[in-house]
Every structure is written in C-alpha cells, then in structure tokens.
C-alpha cells in the first residue's frame, strides 16, 4: 500500500503526535496537523498551491476533500485552509480555502467555499453550503443551501463539541492499534 503522506515540491506534511491517517487517504504538500487528529478513509487533504493548517483533536471523516485557493491574477493572496481545535468534519464535506474556528461541527456533505469564515462554536447542518466570503457567527446552528442562521445553540450542543472531539480521539487510538501497514 502506498504512503498516504506525500511530499510535494520539497514540502512534506507535518503531523502532530498520535495522528491517525487511514492508508486510503492522501495528505499532500504544505499541511501542518496538530496532535490527536484523525483522517479517515478516502479523504484528500491537498495543499499543493497554498497552506493547510489543522489544529488539535480534529476529525476529518470519510470522503472529505480539503483544498486551498491559489494566489493569482483574480485573487492576489489566495486563500489557505485554516481549521482550529476540536473540529469534527462530517463525511464527504468539502472545505475549500476557508477558515474554521475552534469547536465546530461540520455536517455530512457540507461545502464551505473560498474566503468563508466559520467562527468558533458553530454547528453547520448536513448538506449546507457556505458561499464564498460569508461569515457564520459563533453560537448558532446554520443549515441550508445557502446556509442560514436558524437558532442559538443550547447548553447540550455547546458541551457536544468537546465530547465528539474526545470520542474521535478514542476511536482513532483504536485504529492506530490495528496497525494497518
């Protein structure tokens, strides 16, 4: 099986301690990932023309695509992809050149586009679309295509961010013990 961690243009991804990357995933280029993260099957994290930074205890679930926006004549600075700590990215999500705060839950099949900002402590419902440049304010549930603020989060939802991040840390530790090499 080929190595899922791939060097590109003399830049090799840097992974924190106890990171799990499934053998079917690809992590390529200028990627820095914090401790206790997990990258699940068939996920692509491709930083070939800009940087991707992922905080600690993040779970990037099956089939997700994380990419950047390159610098060019239409976008002089481009957009890196920045993800905070304790972020759970649901299956088949697409994050492209955006910024995600801390303690965020991104639902399955959600798309967050170039220059969008999802502030800390946000729940983004499954199938949502965050258009380019939109800012989602902290403390709310957003759903829809395009994503709209629907209601404030409750105490149970605020506590869920840390719970789900810790749960995926436990799960990835079990997968590390399986030693898929």
Express each pLDDT in 115-168 by its tens digit.
999 999 999 999 999 999 999 999 999 999 999 999 999 999 999 999 999 999
Give yes or no for a cis peptide into 146 (omega within 30° of 0).
Answer: yes
The pLDDT confidence band at residue 75, using thresholds 50, 70 and 90, is: confident
The pLDDT confidence band at residue 1, using thresholds 50, 70 and 90, is: low
Report the pLDDT value the prediction gives residue 64, as an integer from 0 to 100: 98
Rounded to an integer, the average pLDDT of 86-109 is 98
Structural domains of the chain sorted by starting position, each given as residue range(s) with its CATH number in brackets: 5-175 (2.160.10.10)
Alpha-carbon distances, residue 117 vs 11, 14, 39, 87, 129 (angstroms): 26, 24, 22, 14, 12
Report the pLDDT value the prediction gives residue 56, as an integer from 0 to 100: 98
Report the pLDDT value the prediction gives residue 181, as an integer from 0 to 100: 64
Rounded CA-CA distance 79/9 in Å is 19
Please report the DSSP string for 39-103 in residue order.
E-TT-EEEEEEEEEEE-SS-EE-TT-EEE-B--BTTBTT-B-EEE-SS-EE-TT-EEES-EE-SS
Query: CA end-to-end span of the chain, whole Å?
Result: 8
In the chain, which ranges are continuous DSSP H helix? 155-178
pTM here is: 0.96
Helix (H, G, I), strand (E, B) or coil at 178: helix
pLDDT higher than threshold 60 for residue 180:
yes
């Amino acid at each position: 099986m080929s190595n899922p961690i791939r060097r590109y243009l003399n830049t090799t991804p840097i992974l924190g301690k106890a990171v799990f990357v499934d053998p079917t995933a690809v992590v390529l280029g200028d990627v820095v990932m914090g401790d206790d993260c997990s990258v699940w099957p068939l996920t692509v994290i491709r930083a070939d023309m800009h940087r991707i930074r992922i905080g600690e205890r993040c779970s990037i679930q099956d089939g997700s695509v994380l990419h950047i926006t390159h610098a060019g004549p239409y976008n002089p600075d481009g957009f890196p992809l920045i993800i905070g700590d304790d972020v759970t990215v649901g299956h088949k999500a697409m994050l492209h050149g955006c910024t995600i705060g801390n303690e965020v839950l991104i639902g399955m099949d959600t798309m967050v586009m170039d220059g969008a900002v999802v502030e800390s402590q946000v729940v983004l419902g499954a199938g949502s679309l965050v258009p380019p440049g939109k800012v989602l304010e902290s403390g709310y549930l957003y759903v829809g295509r395009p994503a709209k603020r629907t209601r404030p989060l409750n105490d149970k939802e605020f506590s869920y961010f840390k719970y789900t991040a810790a749960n995926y840390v436990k799960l990835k530790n079990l997968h590390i013990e399986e030693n898929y090499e």
